């Protein structure tokens, strides 16, 4: 038998309005809130979260949209976001986009429908260029990838400098023919490529680069093709 909010009110000895306020962080005393919570536990009542979201315009939920949770970087980010959200009583909705702008658009609409409190988002370059948090209706913080200045706050690595340091390390080991594979859908790939090129040019060298789809399969195929072409030139 379905337990209704009226049953909780009867068990707690309060009105339905009081139960609603207590469950929705409304203005009730700590004593009344504890009484309602005890009645909820005793009756097994499950609040209608969708209805509550419509009333309060607040879901206590954070959206996390990443390209691929299998990427160790995004695995670590996801765990950190979930831990931080749990500590303040919030939930997380996790979505994987596979660097697909259409999936990104779909998941942003989902976040609007879920009335999330905010979104943490690692967008493709195409989506970042046109992102407008004001139209979405919730705050957005970008991670790993940045939008044009003024579009959205972002937490990013200095990709160009990191790539430059990597090249300098390889050069110090005596390597001179250095190439790189870079993702073709994000600002990250372009920034890393710029760092590699700049470092090589400082030493009078030319960097070899290929822009590929950001998947392990594409990277593996690109390396195979690269090695095959080198062997062909030697012959």
Q: Long-range contacts made by residues 192-197, C-beta under 8 angstroms, separation at least 24?
A: 192/159, 192/160, 192/162, 192/163, 193/163, 194/160, 194/163, 195/159, 195/160, 195/161, 195/162, 195/163, 195/164, 195/167, 196/163, 196/164, 196/166, 196/167
- Please provide the size of the chain in residues: 235
Tokens at 96, concatenated: 């994987």
Percent of the chain residues past pLDDT 70, beyond the cut:
92
CB 181 within 8 A of CB 207: no
CB-count burial class (<10 Å; 0-12, 13-18, 19+) for 149: exposed
**C-alpha pair distances (Å), 117 with each of 58, 172, 212:** 6, 48, 35
d(CA 115, CA 59): 6
pLDDT tens across 137-155, in order?
A: 889 999 988 877 777 888 9
Question: Cα–Cα distance between 67 and 123 in angstroms, integer?
Answer: 7
**What's the pLDDT tens digit per position in 98-138?**
989 999 999 999 999 888 999 999 999 889 888 888 888 88
214 falls in which pLDDT band (50, 70, 90)? Answer: confident
pLDDT in tens, 153-175: 889 889 999 999 999 999 999 99
Q: Average pLDDT in the 73-89 region?
A: 92
The residue-averaged pLDDT of 206-218 equals 88
CA 191 to chain centre: 20
> What is the rounded average pLDDT of the residues 64-71?
93
pLDDT of 16 above 90: no
Higher pLDDT, 135 or 64: 64
* Band of pLDDT at residue 58, cut at 50, 70 and 90: low
Do the Cβ atoms of 168 and 140 come closer than 8 Å? no
Least Cα distance to 122 among 192, 71, 182 occurs for 71
Which tokens is 55 given? 């009333």
């Amino acid at each position: 038998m379905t337990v209704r909010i009226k049953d909780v009110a009867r068990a707690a000895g309060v009105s339905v309005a009081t139960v609603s306020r207590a469950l929705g962080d409304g203005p009730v005393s700590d004593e009344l809130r504890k009484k309602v919570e005890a009645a909820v536990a005793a009756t097994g009542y499950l609040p209608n979260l969708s209805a509550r979201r419509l009333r309060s315009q607040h879901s206590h939920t954070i959206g996390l949209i990443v390209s691929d949770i299998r990427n160790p970087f995004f695995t670590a980010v996801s765990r950190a976001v979930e831990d931080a959200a749990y500590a303040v009583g919030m939930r997380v909705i996790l979505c994987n986009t596979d660097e697909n702008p259409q999936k990104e658009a779909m998941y942003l609409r989902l976040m609007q429908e879920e009335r999330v409190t905010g979104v943490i988002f690692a967008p493709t370059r195409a989506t970042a260029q046109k992102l407008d948090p004001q139209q979405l209706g919730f705050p957005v913080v970008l991670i790993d990838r940045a939008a044009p200045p003024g579009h959205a706050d972002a937490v990013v690595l200095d990709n160009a400098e990191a790539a430059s340091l990597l090249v300098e390390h390889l050069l110090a080991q005596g390597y001179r023919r250095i190439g790189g594979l870079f993702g073709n859908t994000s600002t990250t790939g372009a920034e890393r490529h710029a760092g590699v090129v700049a470092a090589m040019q400082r030493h009078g060298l030319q960097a070899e680069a290929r822009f590929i789809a950001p998947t392990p399969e594409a990277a593996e195929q690109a390396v195979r093709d690269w090695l095959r072409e080198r062997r062909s030139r030697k012959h």
